Amino acid sequence: MIGNIDSMKYIKLMRPKHYIKNLLIAAALVFSGGLTNIDRILTVIIGFCSFSLVCSAVYIINDINDVENDRKDERKCRRPIASGDVSIKNATILAVFCVIGGV
């Protein structure tokens, strides 16, 4: 159970709730009539995953750069890096893996 709690901090840091907007990648598939083409569907799924990972890396890097200001903000102080739940070192490692995975 403790491992799950720790992993939730990292998932929160990646901000998956923002991935919903990345679904716009599928718009081209819908409007091109490619919903029946498995190759196009797989390409869109891979594109969505890649784009989401790179976006997560950008969120993490932004949180690292803004950590001091975020600690002073009532709302942002609860973010994993600003609150101290995730170290800057571990956040940097996660950002690197997100970029590598996205590429």
Q: How far apart are CA 100 and CA 51, in angstroms?
A: 11
pLDDT digit string, tens, across residues 22-65: 989 889 888 888 889 999 999 999 999 999 999 999 999 999 99
Percent of the chain having pLDDT more than 70? 95
Residue 42: which residues within 8 A CB-CB, separation 6 or more? none
pTM (2 d.p.): 0.86
Q: What is the pLDDT of residue 34?
A: 85
Contact 56, 15 (CB under 8 A): yes
Through-space distance between the first and last CA atoms of the chain, rounded to whole angstroms: 32
Report the 10 Å Cβ neighbour count for 9. 16
